[in-house]
């Protein structure tokens, strides 16, 4: 198998370097000011290649299973972190020699270990290179702080403690108690994850599901929904006066009515689209938020319950005493 270097604008092959990997190559990265290349492959090896001489400088055989991704650091492209389906992420420095251990405990270059699933993707934060994100064989994206980690062997049965976890609200997550050798086809798994150029957002592709964007700077907030009384209090009556209905312009009113008609005819997807068009102009409208939340609940696509809850909580934040928003939020929690 070769590592090919292309000039994409001219569609020109510049070089084909023999990697001597025994199986498919899943990941390649330039290192040492783009003079060299790191490759990870299905044979479980990470190889260090020189571009000018088309030669293999090093071959590291620390991983027990396929190496899916390799990443470099924004401020030091000599430091490499590889991730594998054996559940480990290992760190290498191309400036230092490395000889793989022959002991049962393996090499002492394990930066991250998951005891229950494989690691399918890994990337570093472009603005804070000490932050590492990984996508694994489950629904959870994990973020680690390298400053809090130390290199060890892979003999420990415990998972490395992460800095933060991110998962879609509508997907159930359960820890796997024991590592399974064949744990490569879970119900959901993150096949790719990366930070955006600002380092504030985390983009994840969930295999056989959807794509998610998480705000890694935002703090999670626990929302408690108090039970509403059948008889409104004086405060709630006052709120009904203070929060006057929003007057829509003619175009928005027509689109809203169009959404209502779609909803009444059980065309819930079109109803969601119509209400979303209105919300683009009136994002704080409690009526529109509640209408779209109800349409989400009826449409029942993957993630719709989560989207309905988000709209209901937004409506509650604008008008705390409104019963309909709390009822819809309660329906989501029950489901």
Q: What is the pLDDT of residue 191?
A: 92
Q: What is the largest CA-CA distance in the chain?
A: 82
State the average pLDDT over residues 302-327. Answer: 76
Q: Which residues, listed in sequence order, are joined to residue 79 by a DSSP beta bridge?
A: 93
| The two structure tokens encoding residue 315 | 């409506």
Q: How far is Cα of residue 107 from the mean position of the Cα atoms in its chain?
A: 29
Contact call for residues 298 and 292 (beta carbons, < 8 A): no
Give CA–CA dist 48/60, Å, rounded: 8
Residue 99 and residue 59 in contact, taking contact as beta carbons nearer than 8 Å = no
Q: Which of 15-24, 187-196, 320-329 has the lowest mean pLDDT?
A: 320-329
Q: Looking at residues 292-308, what average pLDDT do you find?
A: 87
Mean pLDDT, the chain, rounded, equals: 83
**What is the strand order of the sheet 211-215 is part of?**
190-195, 201-206, 211-215
Residue 243 confidence (pLDDT): 47
CA nearest neighbour of 55 among 9, 5, 3, 14: 3
Say which residue, 55 or 184, is predicted with more confidence: 55
Rounded Cα distance, 264 and 271, in Å: 9
Q: pLDDT by residue (tens digit) across 140-165?
A: 999 999 999 999 887 877 788 899 99
User: Which of these, 159, 178, 171, 163, lies nearest to 216 by C-alpha position?
Assistant: 163
- The per-residue pLDDT for range 73-106, each reduced to its tens digit, is 988 888 999 999 999 999 999 888 788 876 656 7
Check residue 42 and give its pLDDT. 96
The pair phi, psi for residue 125, each rounded to 5°, is -75, 130
pTM summary value: 0.71
Q: CB neighbours (10 Å) of residue 274?
A: 25
Please say if the pLDDT value at position 275 is more than 80. yes
pLDDT of residue 209: 82
> How many of the other CB atoms lie within 10 Å of CB of 151?
11
Determine the pLDDT at residue 329. 54
Report yes or no: 286 and 322 within 8 Å, Cβ to Cβ. Answer: yes
pLDDT of 89: 95
């Amino acid at each position: 198998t070769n590592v090919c270097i292309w000039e994409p604008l001219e569609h020109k092959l510049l070089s084909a370097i023999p990697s001597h990997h025994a199986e498919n190559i899943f990941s390649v990265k330039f290192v040492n000011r783009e003079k060299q290349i790191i490759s990870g492959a299905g044979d479980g090896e990470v190889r260090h290649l020189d571009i000018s001489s088309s030669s293999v400088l090093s071959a590291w055989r620390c991983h027990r299973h396929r190496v899916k991704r390799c990443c470099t650091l924004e401020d030091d492209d000599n430091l490499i972190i590889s991730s594998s389906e054996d559940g480990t992420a290992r760190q290498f420095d191309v400036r230092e020699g490395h000889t793989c251990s022959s002991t049962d405990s393996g090499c002492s270059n394990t930066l991250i270990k998951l005891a229950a699933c494989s690691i399918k993707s890994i990337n570093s934060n472009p603005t804070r290179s000490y932050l590492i994100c990984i996508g694994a064989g489950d629904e959870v994206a994990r973020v680690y702080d390298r400053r809090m980690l130390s290199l060890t062997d892979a003999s420990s049965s415990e998972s490395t403690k992460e800095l933060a976890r991110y998962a879609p609200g509508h997907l159930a997550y359960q820890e796997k108690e024991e590592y399974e050798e064949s744990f490569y086809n879970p119900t959901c798994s993150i096949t790719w994850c990366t930070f955006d150029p600002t380092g504030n957002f985390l983009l994840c592709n969930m295999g056989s599901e959807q794509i998610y964007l998480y705000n890694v700077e935002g703090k999670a907030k626990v929302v408690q929904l108090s039970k509403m009384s059948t008889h409104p209090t004086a405060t709630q009556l006052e709120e009904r006066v203070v929060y006057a209905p929003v007057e829509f312009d003619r175009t928005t009113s027509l689109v809203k009515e169009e959404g209502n008609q779609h909803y009444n005819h059980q065309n819930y997807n079109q109803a969601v689209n119509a209400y979303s068009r209105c919300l683009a102009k009136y994002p704080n409208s409690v009526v529109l938020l509640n209408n779209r939340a109800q349409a989400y609940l009826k449409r029942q696509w993957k993630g719709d319950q989560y989207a309905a809850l988000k709209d209901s909580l937004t409506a509650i934040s604008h008008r705390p005493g409104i019963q309909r928003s709390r009822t819809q939020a309660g329906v989501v929690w029950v489901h």
